Structure 1
Amino acid sequence: MYCPFCASAVVSQGRTFCSSCGKNISFLYSVDTTQQATTTSEGPDTTMVEELIAKYFTEGHSYEVIVDFLATKHSISLSLSSLKRRLQDAGLTRKINYTPLSIVQAAITDELKGSGQLFGYRAMWQTLKQKYGFVVRRDDVMRLMAEIDPIRVENRSKRRFVRRVYRSMGPNEVWHVDGYDKLKPFGIAITGCIDGYSRKIMWLKCGKSNNDPTVIVQMYIQCAAEFGVIPKRLRTDCGTENGLMAALHCCLRSEHGDEFAGAKSHMYGTSTSNQRIESWWSYFRKQRSQFWMDLFGDLRERHLFNGSNLHTCLVRFCFLDVLQKELDEYKQFWNTHTIRPVRQSQCPSGKPEAMYHVPHRFNGRNCGFPTSAEAVRRFSSQMPPATSLDADEDLEARLCQLQRQSGLPTPLNWEAAIENYLRLKNMANL
């Protein structure tokens, strides 16, 4: 496959942007898939293996971890030499065919216009590799960021961290759940869950509320069904929104015979002591949420937002899907970035995704308990239905009608969401 803009070969399937000219080439894959179905002689299993290899390589895993991933997660046996040969045939490399620095500089400049302005050079380096498919040196990214944005680089270099000691035997020993309320004044609430050992984000969702117990328990159910496992222990703060989730978790754990089975499998505590998720919120704020806080705060200072229920519902209507898309993107980036070693920590260093799925490579073991979708459904069917706010639903229906009548497209980024917000605000006379 070749890029139609610069005629360069596309060395890896699935890349959204050409590594030579930086143009969007995602439209090529729908055409290529149709042609491949009729012309290729390779079986579907071979295609799946190539896609998995390209996926894990793009995420930055080492060759040994990729082989372990294929064997552990997909039951695909592949030797290290065969993996290297397949990577060479696909043109996947990290040390040659570097992307031109002018294209890298343009991508960094574009990222710095949004929440990427909170990135350090390591986070920006990972973004360039995964989002744009660039082959670039980390030192080059560091130098370019120092040239493009010297003030923020200097401010980040002055950070000081006070770290606590955290001990864990392996993934799924403890899940830490908490809500994030920094965007609540603007009508958007966020809930997250992190695995204590690997620091893998299990879920990261935004919505109209994180105080509704039925909303929180549904996130737990979806996560348990997705991974087919529940943690040995669950830790939350003392908020009433965690009651149904705690009850469901204890019911599921009552079928086991270990020392933490049943009611002991859930831990209540203060927010300050729930350090894994609380410390992660600080990373989240520095790299993502501060941008949104400043964005909504600017609307308030310009008297375009007054904090009323009507205005918060309008913000939620215009920005919720855009923000959730960014949360999903950040979750993927976090789970595949490298956590550096820290002397004060008793947990290993590496990529959260690797530490979670192949803990034996990090001197850990899976501490979770397998659960079936049938067991989750059996207990979840007894959960009460989610509460409904009729006033908010009526207002959202009115906003949907106004959006259709005015022909406003669904926003795909924060700029389009602001434009929709201002136009709908004027149309609704808010």
Structure 2
Amino acid sequence: MVSDKGSETVQMIDFQKLLRHDAAPEVTEDDFRSWVQVQSKHNTPIEGFWVWLREGEGHNVRDMILSGAAIFNSDDHLHVCVFNWLWPPLLQERLDEFREYWNNHTVRRQKEKDLPSGTSPVHIWTCPTHVRPTARDCRVNVRRDMIQELRDEIGGEEGRRQAYQFVTPEFQAAADGAYADLGYPRITLTTAWTVFLAIVDVLRARD
């Protein structure tokens, strides 16, 4: 695994090492490190994805969020809650869709390339020998019970729910109700701020 040097990866690194040591003790850290941290500017594959995402979307996500600077009031608690209700799920949805596209897009065929080309990353990972007869399946199977133990260690299902919860359950229900009252308008990068204002107006009117 390769990541930047953010402090949020510390526990992830520990878990990765534990899983690798348990599943493949014959592969030592000296032989093949389970995790490598590099500066973001040197982690070119992941940093390069943002360009592909921007070109695929036709938008710069940061610019779309900042375009609401004249609308959003950070001192208004309702504004903060509606922002957290609307934007994180929208961005996650766009990232999920891009992930599906990227994993299934066809890599340009290059005869001189060491790595496989001419097919999709998903095909390469799932059927390596179909892509190259000499390919080896180097996957390592980890124990599901160990995965569950590590999940429980950081809070289990409840911990996961809280980590992905950007607003309280009560506000989530209120905002969902306001969204329903508006007829479920489609939320996109270009309509997000319009929907934001509409939700604010509905919730403000209910107070």
Distance change in 2, residues 1:412/1:426 (3 Å): closer
Greater CA drift, 269-278 or 285-294: 285-294
Distance change in 2, residues 1:276/1:402 (3 Å): closer
Alignment counterpart, residue 348 of structure 1, candidates 116, 119, 122: 116
Q: Which residue of 2 aligns with 1:380?
A: 151
Greater CA drift, 368-377 or 324-333: 324-333
Q: Which residue of 2 aligns with 1:304?
A: 71
The 8 Å contact of residues 237 and 270 in structure 1, kept in 2 or not, is answered as yes
Pairing of 1:271-350 with structure 2 (within 5 A) = 271-288=40-57, 290-300=59-69, 303-307=70-74, 310=77, 311-341=79-109, 346-349=114-117, 350=119
Cα drift, residue 316 of structure 1: 2.9
Report the AA paired with residue 243 of structure 1. Answer: V
If the length of structure 1 is used for normalisation, what is the TM-score? 0.38
**Identity of aligned pairs, percent?**
20
The 8 Å contact of residues 322 and 412 in structure 1, kept in 2 or not, is answered as no
Separation in structure 2 between the aligned mates of residue 399 and residue 386 of structure 1, nearest angstrom = 17
Report the AA paired with residue 239 of structure 1. Answer: G
The 8 Å contact of residues 54 and 61 in structure 2, kept in 1 or not, is answered as no
Q: Report the secondary structure of 1:370's partner residue.
A: coil
Which structure has the bigger radius of gyration? Answer: 1
Q: Which residue of 2 aligns with 1:235?
A: 2
Cα drift, residue 403 of structure 1: 5.0
Task: Give the structure with the higher percent helix.
Answer: 2
Count of residue correspondences: 191
Pairing of 1:65-76 with structure 2 (within 5 A) = none
Q: Which residue of 2 aligns with 1:393?
A: 167
If the length of structure 2 is used for normalisation, what is the TM-score? 0.72
Pairing of 1:411-430 with structure 2 (within 5 A) = 411-414=185-188, 417-427=192-202
Distance change in 2, residues 1:424/1:292 (3 Å): same
* Cα-to-partner distance string for 1:129-183 (whole Å, 9 max, x where unaligned): xxxxxxxxxxxxxxxxxxxxxxxxxxxxxxxxxxxxxxxxxxxxxxxxxxxxxxx
Cα drift, residue 277 of structure 1: 1.4
Q: Which residue of 2 aligns with 1:24?
A: none
Distance change in 2, residues 1:336/1:388 (3 Å): closer
Q: Which runs of 5+ in 2 are unaligned?
A: none
Q: Which residue of 2 aligns with 1:404?
A: 177
Separation in structure 2 between the aligned mates of residue 402 and residue 271 of structure 1, nearest angstrom = 36
Cα drift, residue 355 of structure 1: 1.1
* Bigger relative contact order (CA 8 A; separation at least 6): 2
Distance change in 2, residues 1:365/1:393 (3 Å): same
Pairing of 1:35-184 with structure 2 (within 5 A) = none
Distance change in 2, residues 1:344/1:242 (3 Å): farther
Q: Report the secondary structure of 1:260's partner residue.
A: coil
Report the AA paired with residue 248 of structure 1. Answer: F
Separation in structure 1 between the aligned mates of residue 192 and residue 148 of structure 2, nearest angstrom = 37
Separation in structure 1 between the aligned mates of residue 58 and residue 12 of structure 2, nearest angstrom = 26
Separation in structure 1 between the aligned mates of residue 4 and residue 76 of structure 2, nearest angstrom = 27
